[in-house]
Amino acid sequence: MFKRTQFRLILALMLAVSIVTAGSAFVAARAQQQQSPQTGAEMNAPQPQQQQPANRPLPTPTATPPAADNEVTLPEDEVVRVDTSLTNVLLSAIDKNKRFVSTLKKEDIRVLEDGAPQEIFTFNRQVDLPLTLAIVIDTSISQERTLPDEKAAARAFVDAVLRPGKDEVAVVSFTGDT
């Protein structure tokens, strides 16, 4: 009976971790859609408009052109225009045993566009994304004796992992009755 309880507890925690992972991927994809091309992501790779030498200079800021009489003008120090062709590429890596790999370095990544290798301009890990997860708990009569342990384990997990004001958690119970 104790092994069955352990198995259910491990299964519930694995489910919670899976939901966290899926939620993080969703949040990361959403964040990528909302952020500008110059903000940090796990990896930014340039996507050139045309074939250019690999040692091209970095984009340089240019001043705003003079405005017409009917346009509102802003001081030059408030507007900066930068021409760039950077693209954010978000990724998650797993090994052959389907475990997440969190030790990747810039040198471990290769980005291809139409089969041509692209320069990786910057490579950042996103470790501070908000988490959204659900914990599923069996509250059927068969769990009557182990339910307090399951609740305590779930509470300990939430207290250890969730950051107040940043992460979200839901508790879903089921009884097995239809």
Which tens digits make up the pLDDT trace of 6-64? Answer: 667 676 666 666 676 666 666 565 655 555 444 444 444 444 444 444 455 555 555 55
> How remote is the C-alpha of 53 from its chain's centroid?
32
- What is the reported pTM? 0.37
Q: 59, 97 in Cβ contact below 8 A?
A: no
- Pairing assessment for the beta strands 116-118 and 111-113 based on DSSP bridges: antiparallel
Q: Where are the beta strands (DSSP E) in the chain?
A: 43-46, 86-88, 111-113, 116-118, 122-123, 132-138, 168-174
Task: Specify which residues 94 forms β-bridges with.
Answer: 100
> If pLDDT is split at 50, 70 and 90, which confidence band does 178 have?
low
